């Protein structure tokens, strides 16, 4: 075989898995369709990763990538397009070739959840964004809205205010935010304007975004909020297409069902990180990647001194 273990996805889970796999004596390969880092690189500030009181997500992932580079050279910009059972192992197809591997560890994470409302697709790149750290710079001095009520949404609202957006609205459909309290306190201190019980019916504009068409979740009264941009941060969906085709068991939300060792319903197939649901934090992604990598030794006929 070409590799004993193929790791798909070079985010926190994938990089950690690579470190543990190679240190355990496995011949491993790490694949990513982009330049690695996962969605952690989009976080303006990570304040709950042990050892770093505050660090930009991109900087943290660069450190993790550098560490992993001591053990493995990832196949960046090489997308895994197919995985199939082949003999006692698996056949892996990528955008650049085919590989024979003994086991596969999926760390493909999640992608942005869309609102599926009028104007969302039409104004993508014309005022609609899913990443404040990527596009916030273009809205300095302007009025923007962040749609969502979780920690990521509130952090993005704070970031947009911090870089100089004139007014920042946080639009949430429920009666209270779901974010960690510390982020909510900071948002209010920075004068982020929180609009609760507001559903977004439409994103309207001409050549660019001009407004959000809102509806009160309780009274159903319609209103209009003039904005120059809107950042959508309403959650994530697991990137599970390859696992679906393999027939791996998924839960009702599409997350991969694993045991405490990262084993899926198919022998030799493992999963770790945000793809498996749970609290979906960088620290838990790293831990689960390490556990799954070590667990894969068993499927490969090796042992680890637990």
pLDDT in tens, 43-67: 888 888 999 999 999 999 999 999 9
Percent of the chain with pLDDT over 90: 91
The region, left, alpha or beta by phi > 0 then psi within -120 to 50, assigned to residue 37 is left
Answer yes or no: is 137 within a domain. Answer: yes
Mark whether 250 and 284 lie in a shared domain.
Answer: yes
Q: Are 32 and 60 within 8 A, CB to CB? A: no
195 assigned to some structural domain: yes
The pLDDT value recorded for residue 45 is: 82
**55 with 89, same domain?**
yes
User: Quick one: 194 and 283 in the same domain?
Assistant: no
Question: Which CATH number fits the domain that encloses residue 282?
Answer: 3.50.50.60
pLDDT computed for residue 19 by the predictor = 98
Q: Is the pLDDT of residue 156 over 80?
A: yes
Judge if 7 and 36 occupy the same domain. Answer: yes
Regarding whether 202 and 177 lie in a shared domain, the answer is: yes
Residues 10 and 67 in one domain: yes
Whether the predicted pLDDT of 215 surpasses 80: yes
| Number of separate domains in the chain | 2
> pLDDT grade, residue 180 (50/70/90)?
very high
d(CA 121, CA 233): 15
Distance between CA atoms of 136 and 134, rounded to whole angstroms? 6
- Whether 65 is covered by a domain: the verdict is yes
Could you count the other beta carbons within 10 Å of the beta carbon of residue 76? 14
Q: Catalytic positions, please?
A: 131, 134-135
Domain assignment of residue 225, yes or no: yes
User: At 306, is the pLDDT very low, low, confident or very high (cuts 50, 70, 90)?
Assistant: low
Which pLDDT belongs to residue 32? 98
Note down the domain range covering 129. Answer: 114-232
Do both 100 and 26 map to the same domain? Answer: yes
Give the DSSP letter of residue 130. Answer: S
Residues 122 and 107 occupy one common structural domain: no
């Amino acid at each position: 075989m070409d590799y004993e273990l193929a790791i798909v996805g070079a985010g926190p889970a994938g990089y950690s898995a690579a470190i543990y796999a190679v240190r355990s004596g496995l011949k491993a390969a790490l694949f990513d369709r982009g330049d690695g880092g996962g969605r952690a690189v989009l976080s303006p500030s990570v304040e709950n990763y042990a050892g770093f009181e505050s660090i930009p997500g991109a900087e943290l992932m660069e450190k993790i990538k550098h560490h992993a580079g001591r053990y493995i050279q990832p196949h960046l910009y090489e997308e895994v397009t197919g995985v199939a059972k082949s003999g006692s192992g698996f056949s892996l197809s990528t955008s650049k070739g085919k590989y024979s591997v003994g086991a596969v560890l999926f760390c493909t994470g999640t992608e942005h959840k869309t609102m599926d409302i009028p104007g969302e697709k039409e104004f993508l790149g014309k005022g609609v964004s899913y990443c404040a750290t990527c596009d916030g710079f273009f809205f300095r001095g302007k009025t923007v809205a962040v749609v969502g009520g979780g920690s990521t949404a509130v952090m993005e609202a704070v970031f947009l205010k911090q870089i100089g957006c004139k007014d920042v609205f946080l639009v949430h459909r429920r009666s209270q935010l779901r974010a960690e309290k510390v982020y909510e306190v900071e948002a209010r201190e920075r004068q982020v304007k929180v609009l609760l019980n507001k559903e977004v019916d439409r994103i309207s504009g001409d050549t660019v975004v001009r407004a959000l068409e809102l509806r009160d979740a309780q009274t159903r009264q319609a209103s209009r909020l003039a904005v120059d941009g809107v950042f959508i941060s309403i959650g994530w969906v697991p990137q599970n297409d390859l696992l679906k085709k393999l027939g791996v068991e998924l839960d009702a939300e599409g997350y991969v069902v694993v045991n405490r060792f990262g084993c899926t319903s198919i022998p030799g197939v493992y999963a770790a990180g945000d793809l498996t649901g749970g609290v979906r934090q960088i620290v838990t992604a790293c831990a689960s990647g390490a556990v799954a990598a070590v667990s894969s030794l068993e499927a490969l006929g090796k042992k680890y001194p637990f």
